[in-house]
Every structure is written in C-alpha cells, then in structure tokens.
Chain A
Amino acid sequence: MKIWIEKQTALIDFTLASLARRKVKNFGLLLVYMLIVFLLASVMLYTSALRREAAQVLKNSPEVIVQRMVAGRHDLIPPGYLERLGRIRGVQKKEGRLWGYYYDAVVKANYTFMVPTAGAVAAGKVADGKIVVGAAVARERGLVPGNLISFRSYSGRQFSFAVADVLPHEAELVSADLLLLSEADYRAFFQIPAGHYTDIALSVANPQEVRNIAAKLAETLPDSRPILREEVLRTYESIFNWREGIVLVLLSGSILAFAIFAWEKASGLSAEEKREIGILKAIGWETGDVLKMKFWEGALISLTAFLLGYIAAYLHVFRFSAALFEPVLKGWAVLYPRFELVPAVDGFQVATLFFFTVFPYTVATIVPIWRAAITDPDAVMRS
C-alpha cells in the first residue's frame, strides 16, 4: 500500500510539473471549465434552494382551499357555504379567508390585500385603520412603522391606514407584495358584504384523507373547486423546473462550445506529447503508468475546476443572491422579493453535476493516450 501511495504521489508530482509547462493553455482550460461548472451549479443550487424555500413556506398553509366558481371564474363564497362544509367528516377546522388584488398606480405594482387568519403572528398587530405590509411594498413606498398610507379603493373612496409593522425579511419570497388589514377595513375597502369570503381554508385531521375529502367537497358543493396543498407545491415545482430549463437551454450553447473545446483539447494529442509518451515508455514506464499519469492530469484539471466552480456557484447563490440569474429564476414582477436563501447542498445534485463534468473529461483525456501508449517503445530509438 505504501509503495502504491508513493507511486501515485510520484505520478501526481510529475503530472503537476508537466501541467506547469503549459501554464497558459492549461490555465485557460481550467478557467473555461470552471466557468461552465459555475453556471450549471449556480442554476442547480438556486432553483433547488427556491423549491426548498417554497416548500418550507407552504408547509404551514392549509391542506385544502375551496374556491367557488361561476362560469369558470373564481367568485366569492356566499353566506352558508362555511356551515355546509362543517358537515364533511374529516374536516378539522374551516375558515373563510378574505384577500384580493389591488393595483397601485404610484409604483405600478399589484399588491395582495389580505385579512390575516386567526392565530397568525401578524393578526395581533392588525386593527381597524392599521395595516402590516410586506418588505417589498415597504421598500417601494418607503414605509416604516408609524407612517400613514392612502389607497383609493375601486369604489373611488380614499382610505388611509397607519403602518403597524413590516413583515419579516425571511418570508419575503411569499410576502413581498402582501398587505395585511383588518376584516372590517377589508370589507369596506373592497365593498364585500358580511358573510362573503374570497375562499375557504380547510384543515384535515388525517393527511391521508385529503383526496377523499376533496372528492366529498366536489359532491357537496358542485360549484366549487378544492385546491390541495400538494397541488400548489407541485405547481411551484413545475414553475421552477421550467425556469431552470429555460436557463439551461440558454446556457446550452456555451456548454456545447465548452464540450467541443474540452474534447478537442483532451483528445487531441500533439506530436510533442506523443514523443514524450514514447520516451517515458523507453525509459521503463509501463503503458499503465502512462495512463495513470494522464488520468491524474485529467482528474486534477477537472476536479480543480469542479471544486472551484462549485464553490464560486455556492457563494454566488447564497452570498450574493444569484445576481446573474435572479430575474429569470425568481420570476417577473415589479416588486422583486429580496431574500437570502438558506444554504443547502443536495448530494445527488452534486453527484450528477460531477458525473457530467469530471467524468467525460477524464475519459476524453485517457482514450487517445491509451492509443499512443500502446505503441512500441523502440519507436523512440528511431525518432
């Protein structure tokens, strides 16, 4: 074992000395290689962190949301619906929710007005005439707690609210455009009569029963549609997958260019390299030794590029909020949420990226060398 390690160390030593001889060429290759790993890893890390973030945020959302449909469009829940739902077995808790959209012409952005559900942290801070705003809204309108803000309702009436608080920065991914207000203010602002709700949130005692309950709901209230939490999660997944795909398609040109460049570099063997292999064989290197040396050469370049590229991507995503891809991957909006993703590395994803970058390069380095290394050692005597 000791001899094996010494042998590998000697081969790596030679490989490093050998690589240092073509500094500019190898450094250029390393740089391009690193850039590709960086781009791919950035997209993967960012979308995976976004997905995780969305799942984390939705973890506490209700299992089922019931919306009433009129002519295929979402409509208000009329009085009496809440009571009818209570009779469905398995429903633990039901709550009418009030929310709606409001276009603010000042910043040309849409806000989500919402009455916090009972028990929500922000609920305690909301009172008549007092609102709690999302971080992006606060940023755009320059609001701090204590400020007054006016909105002109769809009825033409002017409403003024005092900002009681700004929602925490951590929840910005889903609350950037949120504005929480009291039920009375909400109903007055949107002119929604008492007993009507935007939709109904249901808690289910047994999560396994969610689909059965959804089926019962469809029977009890044929004019409504149940939306399951898992469906919302799946939609988020698809959106991020789709965006990841778009970025990858855009990147595919550069990836392909690199693949051709790397393949050409790795597989093309110069006359000088062939001569060197001949010399090594003549002075006592076995074909296997030459292959091992070249393996180390490919592995050192690709591993270094992989590690540096991945670390750079990690810093880019989790330290600098993925500044390069933010607009595409986060979504299109006037109110961009500002948030820092929780650093997380998915082992499977690392392995996939490793397999598709380090492995092909190393193989591309070895194959032509193998062809050159099996030539007769006496060729060097005749050169």
Chain B
Amino acid sequence: MIKLTNIRKAYNQGRENEFWALDGINLEIEAQRVTALCGPSGSGKTTLLTIVGCLARPTSGRVHLKERDISGLPERFLTEIRRSTFGFVFQQFNLIKGLSARDNVMLPAYPLGGDWRALHDRAETLLDSLKLGHRRDARVEWLSGGEQQRVAIARAMINDPQVVIADEPTANLDTALSREFLAILENLKEQGKTILLTSHDPLVIESTVVDTVVNLRDGRLVRGA
C-alpha cells in the first residue's frame, strides 16, 4: 500500500549541525496489516512516521501511496491526503485542552465541512465503541491517560482513514492499559485498517496483533533482526 524508495531525510541541511535522521530506507507497508517500527531513541522511527503520514517531505527518495508518488506534492495536497488517508495517535496524545472529548474527536473533520449533526453522531458512536460514551462531555484534561488515548484514537478515526499511524502509543500507559490498546488495535485491524506504529515496548513488539516488525538503527533498516 505504501512504498518507500531510498528515503533520506536531513535536518539543518547545509549547516554545521546537519543531521541525517534517515539514510536510504527502502520499505513496503502492506495494507490491512499492523507494522511496527522498532528501534532505540534517535533511530529515525518518528521521522519515518512523519514522512509516511505526509507530515514532512523526504530530503530525497520516493514515497508511493497506492502507486501514486506523493513525495513531491505541495503542502496543500499533502494536507488533503493526510486528512483523508491517515489518522494519527500521538505519543503525548496532543488533545486540545479545555475542549470536551467529543469536540476533540470532531476536530479533524471541521475543515471538510459536511453536516454537523452527522459528524456529531459519528463522534459519539466512535466514543461509544471505545467505551468512552459516558465521558463525551468531559474536558480532556479531566480524563485519565488511558481515556485520553482512546479519545486520541477516536479522533484519528473520525474521517474514516485507511491508515492509522501511532507514535509510541503505549509509552504513557501501564500494562493493563497497554493491553487494552492492543485489543483496540486488533479491532481496527479486523475493520480492515492498515496500522503503522513505532514502539520499543516489548508488549507491543511481541504481540500477536503485530504482523511485521521493522527494526531501525541510526536511520537505516536493520536486516535480519
């Protein structure tokens, strides 16, 4: 579904502190499967996620989404692809404080227009499906870490994306909540979603939900790991 060809990504290019976060990544991410990017801090996992999720462009190399080369598209088109194809669950959840759980879930759909009532109902259905219906009106800062993550998952799903991207999803969760997250992941997989996540949590890497583990170190793929 997503094909990465010789992806390189540099930060501060041309300056003294130039740093290559990714250096020649060739990778194919299969549709409707769970792929985990694994590796130590600074290995390039998050950078790779941002490139796949159209949050950033590679310095060189090609990104193909279903045969379409999206690596050179201007920001407007990348935003459009990001909005319609990807749903994001961030490590710090990145919810907007002061807003209710439901308002947070609805946020990615606002720029699309569409019927507000239908959107509202869709957000509530998603929260119900994640067992969070009773907290829909609560401000997100009043929710527990696990609840906040489920709100973030509901938000990632609001535009019904084909791909869900999760950055270190269990980093802020205890074991019980991490298992709950894996159950949600399984459910998403059953719904036919493609899932790409980064983690160095053995609970995730060794889980049966994960189909493929891709190891990274120093911006390169580690073969045979």
Contact = CB atoms under 8 A, between A and B. Distances in A.
A323 interface: no
A10 B110 contact: yes
A276 B107 CA distance: 11
Interface string B158-194: 0100000001000000000000000000000000000
Contact of B55 (A18, A22, A282): A282
B110 A7 contact: yes
A286 interface: yes
A129 B67 CA distance: 108
Interface stretch (A248-256, A324-332, A374-382): A374-382
A239 interface: no
Interface residues on A, range: 35 or more
Contacts of B115: 6
Given A376-B55, A380-B90, A285 B111 contact: yes
A281 B50 CA distance: 13
Contacts of B116: 6, 9-10, 13
Contacts of A5: 113
Given A280-B107, A283-B108, A284-B159, A378 B56 contact: yes
Interface in B90-125: 90-92, 94-99, 103, 107-116, 119
Interface of B: 46, 49-50, 55-56, 75-76, 79, 82-83, 88, 90-92, 94-99, 103, 107-116, 119, 155, 159, 167
Interface of A: 2-7, 9-11, 13-14, 17-18, 21-22, 272, 276, 278-287, 289, 376-378, 380-383
Given A10-B110, A377-B55, 20 more contacts: A4-B113, A6-B115, A10-B111, A21-B99, A279-B94, A283-B155, A284-B108, A284-B111, A285-B110, A286-B75, A287-B75, A377-B56, A377-B79, A378-B50, A378-B55, A378-B56, A381-B46, A381-B167, A383-B92, A383-B94
22 contacts: A3-B114, A4-B113, A5-B113, A6-B116, A10-B116, A14-B103, A21-B98, A21-B99, A272-B97, A279-B95, A280-B107, A282-B88, A282-B90, A284-B79, A284-B111, A286-B75, A286-B79, A286-B111, A378-B55, A380-B94, A381-B49, A381-B55
